[in-house]
Amino acid sequence: MSIRDWPVGERPREKLLERGAAALSDAELLALFLGSGRRGQSAVDLGRELLQRYGSLRTLLELDIAQLLEASGLGPAKACKLLAALELARRYLGEELKRDIALTHPGACADYLKARLGGYSYEVFACVFLDQRQRVIACEELFRGTIDGASVHPREVVRRCLALNAAAVIFAHNHPSGVAEPSQADRDITRHLRDALALIDVRVLDHFIVGRGVPTSLAQRGWI
């Protein structure tokens, strides 16, 4: 049965208009982005199937374009819609971060960094640059690949701090394995960067490790 044949109050679009987006299930929200299902299957049924196959909404939305295209029922158009929806969420969180003072609202910073880095299948090292009042100047992805002492170059971080006239920074990088426990290499990198930036009077406020769940803060561990 097509969604158009459902009672009006059960159709995702009409339900959203009447009761708000929070009233919709994950499958119904997915159906609005997917737009249509496939032969013999409504968009809501397709949404339910995808959630069941991948176990959760987060796992589904963390797939890259190649993985989405491999999913039965998702062609290029539907895959692009899902990726566009996720990018809109990232940009929304980015604007929220820029309006907040990162040190006063560490949760907003952690949420944004998780949204930005959590979906990568490879490691990415990012830096949030802050001014004297700890307001966000910019957030940039500086390095990609295996994050270790050989791939993270303090001179590049120093150069960007000087170019942006930053007074403080917050680092973040992801663990594609999903395990957000900091390694000894993570602690060593943080120490090397902190020492290098101290020479130009730039403070390192935190380093978040992004995996599954809440990002791990090295500052909260007492390692900054």
Residues 48-81: pLDDT tens digits? 988 988 888 878 887 778 888 887 668 888 888 8
Rg of the chain (C-alpha set): 21
Query: Would residue 130 count as lying in a domain?
Result: yes
Query: Would residue 93 count as lying in a domain?
Result: no
Q: For residue 206, give the H/E element and its range.
A: strand 203-210
Count of domains forming the chain: 2
Q: Which of 66, 88, 110 is the last residue of a domain?
A: 88
What pLDDT is attached to residue 97? 63
- pLDDT (mean) for 183-206: 94
Query: Would residue 40 count as lying in a domain?
Result: yes
- pLDDT (mean) for 143-172: 87
The domain of 17 spans 3-88
Query: Would residue 107 count as lying in a domain?
Result: yes
Query: Would residue 94 count as lying in a domain?
Result: no
User: CA dihedral defined by 121, 125, 128, 129, rounded to 10 degrees?
Assistant: -150
- pLDDT (mean) for 98-102: 59
> Is pLDDT above 70 for 14?
yes
Report residue 130: phi and psi, to 5°: -120, 150
Contact 188, 150 (CB under 8 A): no
Residue 100, CA distances (Å) to 109, 123, 136, 211 in order: 9, 26, 8, 23
Q: What is the DSSP letter of 165?
A: T
- pLDDT (mean) for 103-110: 71
What pLDDT is attached to residue 207? 95
CA 108 to the chain's CA centroid:
12
Q: What is the DSSP letter of 55?
A: S
Helix (H, G, I), strand (E, B) or coil at 139: strand
Query: Would residue 105 count as lying in a domain?
Result: yes
pLDDT class of 194 with cuts at 50, 70, 90: very high
